[in-house]
């Protein structure tokens, strides 16, 4: 763990594929200057990003820490900060970060930083973690980890607080989140890591089916009569029902529901968290699609409907309210049609919304890499 003669500290950001790697790459652009400015004494930092599925096949903290330490020793890095989008647990709490000052290693679980301002929070967290790991070697003070300057990190990201570390564990300092606020923070972070907006282009065929359904329904006189007779509560019920049907169909059709292999309380909590994040991720994607359908239907209705024909059929003048009500009802109807069209989609884009499926992909990547090295 020695430094070069030019006093350069090599920091590796070991990141899981997908979102953690993208975050690490953005952090690497600004971290060297920020770290040099905070540390002072003319010290320089060389930050590099390594993307590999280091969490493949396990969420056990001890196993993950050993993997990170092995990579650090193999590459002769001074400090390693590992970034993952998996929600990790420790003694019943959601892990934020583990630090091993003696080995220059840290493990950061991004979902625990929440779903808002993730890039900014990740930058602050990694900066404080690196400075904490680097300070004992820079000063030789040998201070216990509890005296390292991470208090600001915890207060800025409340409800983050120091967590329990077992005697047999490698970490000497740990931060966790707990309670309802902590659960919601992790859930929001998981949904943010899933990037639900990517689900929209992945549902192109379903959207095409929904748009076709909406275009036909808009010029159907029976739909006109139904729409004008529906009250606002019924339209709301139709919206909720169609969106729920679409969400349920996507989850079932793509086999997104995570089932626990063991019956331990910890595993059940993890499974509940996975499934909740999947429902929210798919739900956000479907709601975005619904809003798009509503806008397209409204424009189509404004372009195609004839006020005299509409009034003669429904005995209601075609006003702005009728345009809106008809477009709203047609969007719900079209969403049901889109649910049927979603069965034609490739599952790849949809499964990206589920942590369990992304973990299976990581296992496949590791197995393929092992096969290539063996040949």
- 142-151, 162-171, 363-372: least confidently modelled range: 142-151
Instruction: Please report the DSSP string for 303-355 in residue order.
Output: HH--HHHHHHHHSS---HHHHHHHHHHHHHHHHHHHHHHGGGS-HHHHHTT-H
Kindly report, residue by residue over 207-261, the tens digit of the pLDDT.
Answer: 888 888 889 889 898 999 999 898 999 999 999 999 999 888 888 887 888 777 6
Percent of the chain's residues with pLDDT above 70: 81
Is 161 in a helix, a strand, or coil?
strand
At 342, is the pLDDT very low, low, confident or very high (cuts 50, 70, 90)? low
pLDDT at 2 > cutoff 50: no
Q: Which domains are seen in the chain, by residue range?
A: 8-135+145-188 (3.40.390), 196-373 (no CATH)
At 152, is the pLDDT very low, low, confident or very high (cuts 50, 70, 90)? low
Report the mean per-residue pLDDT for the chain: 82
Amino acid 240: pLDDT: 95
CB count within 10 Å of CB 298 equals 18
Kindly report, residue by residue over 270-306, the tens digit of the pLDDT.
Answer: 788 888 988 998 899 889 989 999 999 999 999 999 8
């Amino acid at each position: 763990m020695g430094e070069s003669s030019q006093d350069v500290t090599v920091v590796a950001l070991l990141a899981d594929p997908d979102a953690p790697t993208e975050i690490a790459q953005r952090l690497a652009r600004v971290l060297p200057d920020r770290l040099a400015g905070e540390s002072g004494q003319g010290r320089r930092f060389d930050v590099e990003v390594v993307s590999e599925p280091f969490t493949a096949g396990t969420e056990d903290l001890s196993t993950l820490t050993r993997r990170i330490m092995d990579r650090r020793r193999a590459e002769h890095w001074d400090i390693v900060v590992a970034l993952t989008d998996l929600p990790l647990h420790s003694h019943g709490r959601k892990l934020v970060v583990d630090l091993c000052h003696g080995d220059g290693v840290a493990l950061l679980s991004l979902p625990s930083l929440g779903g808002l301002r993730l890039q900014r929070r990740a930058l602050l967290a990694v900066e404080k973690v690196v400075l904490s790991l680097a300070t004992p070697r820079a000063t030789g003070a040998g201070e216990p980890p509890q005296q390292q300057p991470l208090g600001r990190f915890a207060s800025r990201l409340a409800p983050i607080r120091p967590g329990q570390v077992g005697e047999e564990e490698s970490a000497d300092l740990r931060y966790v989140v707990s309670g309802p606020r902590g659960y919601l923070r992790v859930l929001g972070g998981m949904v943010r890591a899933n990037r639900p907006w990517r689900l929209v282009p992945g549902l192109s065929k379903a959207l095409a089916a929904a748009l076709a359904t909406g275009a036909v329904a808009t010029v159907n006189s029976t739909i006109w009569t139904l729409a004008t007779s529906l009250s606002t509560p019924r339209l709301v019920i139709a919206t909720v029902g169609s969106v729920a049907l679409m969400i349920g169909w996507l989850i079932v059709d793509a086999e997104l529901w995570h089932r626990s292999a063991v019956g331990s309380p910890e595993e059940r909590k993890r499974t509940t968290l996975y499934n909740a994040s999947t429902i929210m991720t798919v739900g956000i994607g479907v709601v975005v699609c619904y809003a798009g359908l509503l806008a397209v239907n409204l424009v189509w209705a404004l372009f195609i409907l004839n006020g005299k024909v509409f009034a003669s059929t429904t005995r209601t003048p075609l006003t702005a309210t009728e345009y809106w009500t008809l477009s709203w009802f047609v969007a719900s109807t079209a969403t049901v049609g889109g649910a049927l069209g979603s069965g034609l989609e490739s599952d790849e884009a949809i499964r990206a919304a589920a942590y369990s499926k992304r973990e299976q992909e990581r296992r496949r990547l590791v197995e393929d890499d092992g096969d290539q090295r063996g040949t």
